[in-house]
Structure 1
């Protein structure tokens, strides 16, 4: 079959990966190709097999692709719509509405694949503390503008709920000046609906853009969802000069989608089973979210931990780009502590006197010290009984229990499900309460009265 110079011929189809042979005029990396000239069926070039054959990823339904079908170059790259019109909208990785709203036709667009901005412009960026109203986050893993926080945990421990509460609380602190971009990668569509409902009810959806590629989508769409959301965040930061709150659920699913694509393309995995390009993919994604002197990007990522193994390579690949690590555990969840955060396993580079202040810093360290000692005493008490503990040790154990219970909290986004209104606690109140419990001002109050309260004083009146 004789081909036109701009046409190619599909020679192989494997899942979402196709091989296309061109007699001449080979397409470039990132270029879009159309199936039979129909722009509804597109592919994006991701590599070259040899001097005549390119490898491309199918961006839509793969059932219409077969060997022998002609492919046409359309001289375009994959783009994503940007601008103010993206706020208050729910779209997929290609900018197609998922909310029943009007199509984003003829709007301003930007290429999805872009080179990360140089980090030179980050010099002099202020590190402003953002109070979330979540006691356990504000005290132990402070949320700082321009930083990146990750919520690690296995399935069903409350990562998405905590991420949604953070989005709900933080975006209301600077209305108009700050916008939010949420990337839903490989998660349930039900969670996306619940997030949309919560944001709409609270009145903050108008300054939020949701980009979804749920778990039922192909690995191509799931992987590109994260890149599309990064493109929109870059536009708000660079072109509009707005501070961006970037939320992603789930970073592990992006890595997983990349691994699926790597396997489809026949690339040999690394020793741990993941794609050999995992580190570079993580680096490219996170470096695009850098802050500049003009505006800041503050990121929060939910990261699934397979088999609750923090040593998993996908987990470790994300670690170098994080300022705060929040670990949610099944043990804490089973104890009824929500958010189910392991305080001793969670860390933050922002927990320093220069960032949070001397009083905050000392209070957090003192609480951690008591909790660590109480954890060891709990094991002894379980084996031998509390009566065998020394008086000082028993006092430390009880204060540790009260502190741990105090850091439970009802969430605003869970108010409808739990039937209990959420609560926000000022940072200074949290610091003062923690110090008061440490100093023994609440020694006469039962431990259970500290569960799901706001200020510690509520425990004296049994307020829940």
Structure 2
């Protein structure tokens, strides 16, 4: 057994002297009950290592005995994890007892080799009209979800988990990085009440935890997801909230280790650290990990290094609009700001591409005319512009949709709409088939066939 002694402690950074220096990424344990967990980040010389504590270091003292486990950080994997809530160490935090008899795997794993990845671009249908038509997700791809507080981000995430479980016979993993404890607890309750928790694994590295724990929780969740993709051969939906907090935790760790910061104080290894996480999210010939990541943009500055490096990995962006939320147009997806690399004729199909372009054009013209309408009224517009406005307003209402996870609050049954049905509805609205029908008739319906005059009541 390789045992050493603590030389120095600076916040979460611990220097330890061993007879033989442990390997980088090895886990070190200290304390009577093994309550101090340290991961080796650097070898200072043949005998001394510098590690970052993943637990609080209060009570750890110089000269204390530290044991090298001889292996990297490991978490449990398997079907027994479903419906449970874990911390970064793979310990349950939902007060429902421990998970036993599970295989454990290292959180540090290589990405799937390119030769084993599926090179076929497929659309991952969510059953949510606005996303499937204007910002389709890529199976095995990564989508960014941009939105502030109170615009329906949590509800949208929960609905996607529900639709993945029911529509794709897959499962979901929710990874909270730097989450507020309150938000995590609320999400857990909502998922439990809406019945989707049984096919979901939740992993949290909470805001009050040391930066080392927040920096590694994404890798822990991804290791669990890889089991379901590679061993269970399932489609997995991986939700990460918030990817910026992962970068922020890396920045804190980098500063503690004394690395020279790069632009705006970010760690010099930002691109590498983000790629280590993102490149493991991909699809194989037997299963896929499709990821939706909430992205916080500091001070709304899209040139910020964290935003720039994150955007490089995303194949779709879903922007939530507070204005649409205030108008009651849920899901409050900004139809013009959201987009996807999948929206190309050779992937989505010629018909889908043309309809999406026509929708964008119609909505953009309506957006430009809003100031004129506010000042002079719609009657002052030309006949053609009036028709465009009527089409745009009907499209906006058609893209609203009742969710399964809000049934108990709204009393309206949830709707899951196929991409083909949504395209048919949009095409018919663009062809003025519903010009004589009130806009309200298209509000909060599923397929276009449900549009009836009775909906106006």
TM-score (norm: length of structure 2): 0.91
Q: Does 1:162 align with 2:153?
A: no
Is the 1:160–1:302 Cα contact (8 Å) retained in structure 2?
no
Deviation at 1:63, TM superposition (A): 1.0
Q: Does 1:108 align with 2:109?
A: no
- 1:10 corresponds to: 6
CA separation in 2, counterparts of 1:123 and 1:422? 33
- 2:261 corresponds to: 269
- 1:207 corresponds to: 199
Deviation at 1:321, TM superposition (A): 1.8
CA separation in 1, counterparts of 2:336 and 2:317? 11
**Compared CA separation, residues 115 and 320, structure 1 to 2 (3 A):** same
SS across alignment from 2:23: coil
Q: Does 1:430 align with 2:437?
A: no
**Compared CA separation, residues 151 and 44, structure 1 to 2 (3 A):** same
Question: For 1:46, which of 37, 41, 50 is the aligned residue?
Answer: 41
CA separation in 2, counterparts of 1:450 and 1:141? 21
Over residues 159-178 of structure 1, what are the superposed CA-to-partner deviations in whole Å (9 max), with x where a residue is unaligned?
22212211111221233xx3
Is the 1:82–1:235 Cα contact (8 Å) retained in structure 2?
yes
CA separation in 2, counterparts of 1:26 and 1:148? 39
CA RMSD of aligned residues (A): 2.4
Q: In the comparison of the two structures, how many residue pairs are matched?
A: 456
Q: Does 1:140 align with 2:134?
A: yes
**Compared CA separation, residues 294 and 430, structure 1 to 2 (3 A):** closer
Moved more, 452-461 or 237-246: 452-461
Question: For 1:149, which of 135, 143, 150 is the aligned residue?
Answer: 143
- 1:303 corresponds to: 295
CA separation in 2, counterparts of 1:448 and 1:404? 11
Instruction: Give runs of aligned pairs for residues 239-258 of structure 1, distance below 5 A.
Output: 239-258=231-250
CA separation in 2, counterparts of 1:332 and 1:309? 22
TM-score (norm: length of structure 1): 0.90
Q: Does 1:25 align with 2:17?
A: no
CA separation in 2, counterparts of 1:376 and 1:459? 30
Is the 2:141–2:291 Cα contact (8 Å) retained in structure 1?
yes
Structure 1 alignment gaps of length 5 or more: none
Is the 1:37–1:71 Cα contact (8 Å) retained in structure 2?
no
Is the 1:233–1:289 Cα contact (8 Å) retained in structure 2?
no
Deviation at 1:390, TM superposition (A): 1.6
Question: For 2:274, which of 282, 288, 297 is the aligned residue?
Answer: 282
Over residues 21-75 of structure 1, what are the superposed CA-to-partner deviations in whole Å (9 max), with x where a residue is unaligned?
33x3011111111224642322111113445432211122321223333323232
Moved more, 376-385 or 254-263: 376-385
